[in-house]
């Protein structure tokens, strides 16, 4: 979570003076709550965008900024506060809101889930966390839903545009190391996949999503329980994912699974 100032009854003292502010070419960020008791957190990646899951406001648009994990930050109940001044392109007056994404990478190279929040640029330099928002897509994607859920949609529906579409063509690879597509994985608890645009056409993707499922079905099944958890997970601007199952959940041994990816266009 971001170490934003709050006036909740719990009086959580997460805020650090000088953090969660913006200037013309940078944002001062603070976050906490990431932890890995086995492999420890090694570093983080940060994106700043003008839209949901965007990275167009990074100093090098589209390229996430790597931030080393600090063990000297101020201690809070949720761990050490991480602070970083993120350089951006010019945050001019037309940009009212910022969408900021952070994820951690442990010393084994595995990435955490993304934390993603929307902030209002308050005149004078404060970033105000948006706690009430509207869905940004017809499937309910938003920054203020409960964890692993989506926002309620009033009278909206998705249209199938897959037939005769002119969107980008993606190549999806099941890999272990490098970019070589493999037919079998030596692990019974871990899958890794990558994807890339092999033919650019139509509108560029706003963000990516991923899922894992049995090869015998056209939609992802066999891993995620659609009634209890999200089947499709946000990858933001990333083009890879490593998925490991929870202890005692299932085993990939002697079963056929594939990664599935999709582009979010609206």
216 and 179 part of one domain? yes
Predicted TM-score (pTM) of this structure: 0.79
pLDDT in tens, 87-99: 999 998 889 999 9
pLDDT in tens, 34-43: 988 889 999 9
Q: How confident is the model at residue 17 (pLDDT cuts 50, 70, 90)?
A: confident
84, β-bridge pairs: 29
pLDDT in tens, 213-243: 777 777 777 777 777 777 888 888 887 778 8
153 and 173 part of one domain? no
What's residue 4's pLDDT?
79
179 and 256 part of one domain? yes
Query: Domain for residue 163, yes or no?
Result: no
What does the alpha-carbon distance between residue 105 and residue 92 come to, in Å, rounded to a whole number? 32
What's residue 163's pLDDT?
60
Residue 266 above 60 pLDDT?
no
Instruction: Give the domain range for residue 189.
Output: 169-264
Query: Domain for residue 254, yes or no?
Result: yes
Look at residue 45 and give its three-state secondary structure: strand
Name the residue among 64, 110, 102, 109 with its Cα closest to residue 82.
Answer: 102
104 and 175 part of one domain? no
Q: How confident is the model at residue 151 (pLDDT cuts 50, 70, 90)?
A: confident
Name the residue among 76, 96, 90 with its Cα closest to residue 19.
Answer: 76
Q: Per mean pLDDT, which of 97-106, 180-189, 196-205 is the most reliable?
A: 97-106
Name the residue among 46, 49, 80 with its Cα closest to residue 66.
Answer: 46
Domain count along the chain: 2
What does the alpha-carbon distance between residue 67 and residue 42 come to, in Å, rounded to a whole number? 9
183 and 137 part of one domain? no
Those residues with Cβ within 8 angstroms of residue 150's Cβ, 6 or more apart along the chain or in another chain = 135, 139, 140, 141, 142, 230
Min mean pLDDT across 29-33, 76-80, 128-132 is at: 76-80
- Domain of 42, CATH number, reads 2.60.40.10
Query: Domain for residue 238, yes or no?
Result: yes
What does the alpha-carbon distance between residue 235 and residue 122 come to, in Å, rounded to a whole number? 29
Among 98, 132, 158, the domain boundary falls at 158
| Residue 43: C-alpha distances to residues 59, 168, 175 (Å) | 19, 32, 23
192 and 219 part of one domain? yes
What's residue 225's pLDDT?
78
- Evaluate whether 209 touches 262 at the Cβ level (below 8 Å): yes
63 and 154 part of one domain? yes
29 and 122 part of one domain? yes
What does the alpha-carbon distance between residue 207 and residue 165 come to, in Å, rounded to a whole number? 18
Residue 118 above 90 pLDDT?
yes
Q: In what order do the strands lie in the sheet with 233-236?
A: 233-236, 207-214, 257-264
Name the residue among 35, 30, 34, 26 with its Cα closest to residue 15.
Answer: 30
Min mean pLDDT across 17-26, 128-137, 170-179 is at: 170-179
Span 35-57, mean pLDDT? 93
13 and 91 part of one domain? yes
What's residue 128's pLDDT?
92
- Evaluate whether 230 touches 145 at the Cβ level (below 8 Å): no
Those residues with Cβ within 8 angstroms of residue 212's Cβ, 6 or more apart along the chain or in another chain = 191, 220, 223, 224, 243, 257, 258, 259, 260
72 and 100 part of one domain? yes
Query: Domain for residue 164, yes or no?
Result: no
Those residues with Cβ within 8 angstroms of residue 109's Cβ, 6 or more apart along the chain or in another chain = 242
130 and 208 part of one domain? no
Min mean pLDDT across 87-91, 147-151, 246-250, 253-257 is at: 253-257
82, β-bridge pairs: 31
147 and 258 part of one domain? no
Among 158, 190, 213, the domain boundary falls at 158
- Domain of 244, CATH number, reads 2.60.40
207, β-bridge pairs: 264
């Amino acid at each position: 979570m971001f170490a934003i100032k709050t006036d909740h009854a719990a009086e959580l003292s997460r805020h650090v003076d000088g953090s969660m502010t913006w200037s013309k070419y940078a944002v001062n960020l603070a976050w906490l709550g990431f932890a890995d008791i086995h492999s420890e957190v090694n570093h983080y990646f940060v994106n700043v965008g003008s839209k949901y899951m965007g990275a167009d406001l990074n100093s090098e648009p589209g390229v996430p900024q790597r931030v080393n994990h600090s063990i000297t930050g101020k201690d809070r109940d949720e761990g050490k506060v991480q602070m970083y001044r993120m350089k951006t392109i010019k945050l001019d007056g037309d940009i009212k809101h910022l969408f900021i994404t952070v994820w951690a990478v442990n010393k084994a190279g595995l990435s955490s889930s993304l934390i993603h929040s929307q902030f209002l640029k308050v005149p004078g330099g404060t970033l105000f966390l948006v706690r009430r928002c509207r869905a940004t897509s017809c499937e309910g994607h938003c920054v203020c839903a409960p964890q692993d859920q989506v926002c309620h949609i009033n009278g909206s529906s998705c249209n199938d545009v897959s037939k005769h579409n002119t969107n980008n063509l993606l190549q999806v690879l099941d890999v272990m190391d490098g970019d070589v597509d493999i037919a079998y994985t030596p692990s019974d608890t871990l899958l890794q996949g990558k994807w890339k645009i092999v033919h650019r056409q139509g509108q560029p993707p706003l963000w990516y999503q991923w899922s894992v499922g049995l090869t015998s079905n056209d939609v992802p099944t066999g891993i995620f329980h659609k009634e209890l958890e999200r089947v499709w997970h946000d990858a933001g601007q990333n083009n890879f994912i490593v998925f490991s199952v929870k202890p005692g959940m299932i085993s990939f041994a002697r079963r056929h699974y594939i990664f599935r990816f999709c582009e979010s266009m609206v």
